[in-house]
Structure 1
Amino acid sequence: MKVRANRVGEQMKKELGDIIGRKIKDPRIGFVTVTDVQVSGDLQLAKAYISILGDAEQRENTLKALAKAKGFIRSEIGQRIRLRKTPEISFEFDESIDYGHRIETLLHEINKDSHEAEE
């Protein structure tokens, strides 16, 4: 059953990217990337992880706009993916991208400091 949930998640990730990028005309939605979709084993719930280009306010506005468009998004998914029942979708900000950038910055600073110490 887990394999099917993963397959549905991958399909939803692809479709969500397309729907958010092309179908939703809300100006509050910034540049959004769907990084992952986790679907529950019973295919009832889907948690979409997204990264948003911009500041905290831009992220907040985008999440609000996506929450408002949830019904439309769900019906679009239902038309595109053949499932008996379309999963309930929730959107969450993907913290891993920021976390990765933070680690990269710290490593760069450490590397720079060690080079300066050698000179």
Structure 2
Amino acid sequence: MMLRSDRVGEEIKKVVAELIQNEIEDPRLPNFTTVTAVEVTRDLSYATIFVSALGDGEQIATTLNVMESAKKFIRYRIGQEIRLRNVPEIRFKYDNSIAEGNRISKIIDEVIAKDKLKRESNR
């Protein structure tokens, strides 16, 4: 059974993703900024929005700063799009799962290449 907070989180995720693509026109925001997840507290008072962006540590920090500076606008638009008595306070956190997945994939590729090279040299 899906909780109301989970449903609200999914709706917030859709709204914020749409805002990033179409309405937040800050040139510092990377093109590949993605909302990966939204966690909403059971009482719907807080929403943690996890964002992911390609780039180094400086670009990630810039992305979070841009999102923080647009926080009031984002919260206002969430309130317009989703009918709630109280719009949750929003917080942004960086989600490194995509970068971590890429790192692990690269390690696996290296191990496979070394194994293949080792097998060919043993023939």
TM-score (norm 2): 0.91
**Shift of residue 2 of structure 1?**
6.2
Which structure 1 residue ranges, 5 or more long, are not aligned? none
**1:47: Cα distance to partner?**
0.6
Shift of 1:18: 0.5
Aligned to 1:73: 74
Q: Percent identity?
A: 45
Q: What letter corresponds to residue 13 of structure 2 in structure 1?
A: K
2:4 matches 1:4: yes
Letter paired with 1:3: L
Q: 1 CA distance for matches of 2:27 and 2:56?
A: 16
Number of residues of Structure 1 aligned to a counterpart in Structure 2? 119
1:56 to partner: Cα distance: 2.0
Partner Cα distance (1:83, 1:60) in 2: 31
User: Aligned partners of 1:7, 1:28: CA distance in 2, in Å?
Assistant: 31
Deviation at 1:62, TM superposition (A): 1.4
In structure 1, how many angstroms separate the alpha carbons of the residues matched to 2:84 and 2:43? 12
Q: CA deviation at 1:80?
A: 0.3
AA partner of residue 26 (structure 2): D
Can you give the 5+ residue segments of structure 2 that lack an aligned partner in the other structure? none
Tell me the equivalent position of 1:84. 85
CA distance in 2, matches of 1:4, 1:89: 17
2:3 is paired with a residue of what secondary structure? helix
Q: CA RMSD in A?
A: 1.3
1:56 has 2:64 as partner:
no
Letter in 2 for 1:11: E
TM-score normalised according to structure 1 size? 0.94
What is the CA deviation profile of residues 47-86 of structure 1, one whole-angstrom value per residue up to 9, with x for unaligned ones?
Answer: 1111112222221111111101100100000000011100
Q: Could you tell me which residue of structure 2 aligns to residue 98 of structure 1?
A: 99
Where in structure 2 are the equivalents of 1:20-59 lying within 5 Å?
20-31=20-31, 32-59=33-60
Structure of greater Rg: 2
